[in-house]
Amino acid sequence: MAGTKNHSRSAIEACGCSFLPETKPAGLDAFASVSSGLKITGLKVFGVSPNPKSDRPYVFVKLETNQGLVGWGEGTLEGKAGAVMACINDFHDFLIGADPMQVEHIWESMYVHSFYRAGPVIGSAISGIDQALWDIRGKALGMPVYKLLGGPFDARGVRGYYHVDGANRERLAEIRQTAQHQGITCVKGGIPGYYEWLERRPKIDRAIKSIQLLRETLGPDIDIAVDFHAKTSPSVASIIVKEVEPLNLLFVEEPCAPENVQAMAKIARRSTTPIATGERLIAAYGCRELIEMGIIDILQTDINHVGGITALWKVAAIANVSSISMAPHACEGPLGGLATLQVDAAMPNFLVQEICGQVKPRAVDKIWEEWLGFPAMRMVNGRFPLSEKPGLGFELSEASLAKYPFGGTRPMARVFHEDGSVAEW
């Protein structure tokens, strides 16, 4: 910078934009007087495949320090596991030797000094690292992260919902009975099939009837959300959300692609059904337009993609001052899920927490319990309990992950219309 003598890096004159290698994180010397004494000494990345066929093998991050404290985080990204693992390792020079208590400084450096603004790969890499930093921070201070953030906002715990996959009345009746027994007050379903930009009425009617069946079978006392998964165009979504208004849905999720802000606004203007979106958005900046334009009612950013605890907390704060609720997405592994609960517990505008689990535990729930020693991301009386343990509230060993070695990146589903054109799924 002009007029500055104390450069942290020296430009190579032949290029003017490349820099000589650093032996410690750039800018570290400026914080010597406020250092906590903690230093990051190790960075490890683990690809873990409990289900080798899954499109989301878990990407876990472990940060080690000179005082024996370790932090864990998750950067699982559907269909891009190998890319995220490589990107996390690319941040090695940002971390080794840094003070892990300076979470905000490290986050800004990773985001800004990547130069090209973060998409899902960089966002997920930052997310995993950031969660691990907060885990260390909480352990160093002897407090759970939600207390560091000023929580809990609700001492009863974090309200959540499971997914329902029942396509028939009998299966949904079983789910209702189990939900009532477990104190579950909210579930989420989807709509069947894939939709053209302008769709025939029989297919639209099928989607409407599937939503009506949810309400008829589950009854009036269970909140119901419906995920369109951006499978519908603004024209198709507008018809459906208008016709299901009498069902009093908690929200309709991603009625069109989230990057098409004007299309989302068109749908919102045509219905009183609350609109939710955001799981594919990165950093607070990626949510700004949706919030400023007042298009959505509920924001669903994912802690494993948006930029970790730091970014999710900022997004929630921006949404709060605009009277928008938060219902974070969490459909990857258990570490990100547990980290999300910490932020949820301190949000004044928190609504409900997603977990891509079922009312009845799955095989993977048993694996998570094997790793962590407790039933992770399972609700008690319709809420996720708050842990009093410091950091993110769990311990994890490398040995426990070795049983499920990384099976490689797997692509997400690829679906097509009858004419061979690409379909949203």
- Please identify every residue annotated as catalytic: 229, 329
Q: Which contacts (CB < 8 Å, 24+ apart) does range 371-379 have?
A: 371/334, 371/396, 371/400, 371/401, 372/334, 372/396, 376/334, 376/337, 376/338, 377/330, 377/334, 377/337, 377/338, 379/160, 379/162, 379/182, 379/183, 379/184
**CB neighbour list of residue 205: distance below 8 Å, 6 or more residues apart:** none
